[in-house]
Copies of this chain bind each other. A is one copy, B any other.
Amino acid sequence: MTVVNPVQAPFDRAICDGLAACGVATVHEAQGRTGLLASHMRPIFAGASIAGPAVTVSVPPADNWMIHVAVEQCRSGDVLVVSPTSPSDAGYFGELLACSLAARGVVGLVIEAGCRDIAALTAMGFPVWSRAVSAQGTVKETLGSVNVPLVCAGQLVRPGDVVVADDDGVVVVPRAHAKLVLRASHEREHRERAVRERLKAGELGLDIYGMRQRLQEKGLIYSTGCRSATEPET
């Protein structure tokens, strides 16, 4: 049951860079509001923004042996995605593994567990999204698998799927959709750019989006009496 599968064929770097530039919120919208990891996945420092194909690692609780195995499978531009088979906040990952990943060009780590050596990782600029910070070490006793489909923070991630992460969280884009999602993200950005300028100039979303009539049809009432409205009901 424990296996190391080969990595996917190389993936277009420009698409990844484009998705990272669009950001998690836009990409998530552009693919129909799917693929967002749970909001407990937080960056260890602010300001990082990455995207790349996933090398996935299914690990036993409190055992990081398979991360060492996975390093060898990583290529430049990859994102490592680690998920334990049973919930664990142990500190699976720290500075040494980050040095090894950085040497191979890996752009970041997404792990539904703990991370440590925060100060060193911040200094070297290696970004991690985790559900906990913990110095608790792990053992190297039990095998897991590399490059298998897994569930991380509530989302299915398959090897080679594109993972996008920034200050808003983490979203996974199915590999076969990445190009379309990037196009849809750019269209969304294009539309938003125009709206942004109008909003900054003081125009209202109610007018830009033409919401007033539908609000009226739904029965929204604009009260004119002042006092009664702000008092609790009696």
Q: Give residues in A with beta carbon < 8 Å to B.
A: 1-6, 8, 23-25, 28-29, 32-34, 36, 38-39, 42, 45-47, 49, 60-62, 65, 68-69, 71-72, 85-91, 94-97, 99-100, 102-104, 114, 116-119, 122, 132-137, 139-143, 147-149, 151, 154-156, 158-160, 166-169, 171, 174, 176-177, 192, 195-196, 199-202, 204-206, 209, 211, 215, 218-224, 226, 229-234
- Distance of A78 Cα from B75 Cα, bound (Å): 44
- Distance of A62 Cα from B62 Cα, bound (Å): 7
- Distance of A174 Cα from B190 Cα, bound (Å): 43
A3: contacting residue among B168, B206, B223, CB under 8 A: B223
Question: Given the interface contacts A4-B222, A86-B89, does A136 sit within 8 Å of B199 by beta carbon?
Answer: no
- Distance of A134 Cα from B204 Cα, bound (Å): 25
Known: A8-B226, A100-B205, A159-B230. 15 other contacts (CB 8 A): A3-B229, A5-B223, A5-B226, A62-B62, A69-B215, A96-B196, A96-B199, A99-B200, A103-B202, A118-B168, A119-B167, A143-B218, A147-B230, A148-B230, A149-B230
Shortest CB-to-CB span from A124 to chain B, Å, is 10
Residues of B within 8 A of A39 (CB): 87, 89, 114, 132-134, 136
Residues of B within 8 A of A118 (CB): 46, 167-168
Question: Given the interface contacts A119-B47, A232-B149, does A4 sit within 8 Å of B199 by beta carbon?
Answer: no
Residues of B within 8 A of A200 (CB): 99, 102-103
Residues of B within 8 A of A33 (CB): 85-86, 136-137
In the complex, the answer to whether B206 meets A68 with C-beta atoms within 8 Å is yes
In the complex, the answer to whether B117 meets A25 with C-beta atoms within 8 Å is yes
- Distance of A196 Cα from B148 Cα, bound (Å): 29
A119: contacting residue among B28, B49, B62, CB under 8 A: B49
Shortest CB-to-CB span from A21 to chain B, Å, is 12
Q: Can you name 24 A-B pairs with beta carbons within 8 Å?
A: A2-B218, A2-B221, A3-B223, A3-B229, A24-B135, A28-B136, A36-B135, A39-B134, A46-B122, A60-B62, A61-B62, A62-B62, A68-B205, A69-B211, A96-B196, A96-B205, A100-B204, A103-B199, A119-B166, A133-B169, A143-B215, A148-B229, A154-B154, A160-B230
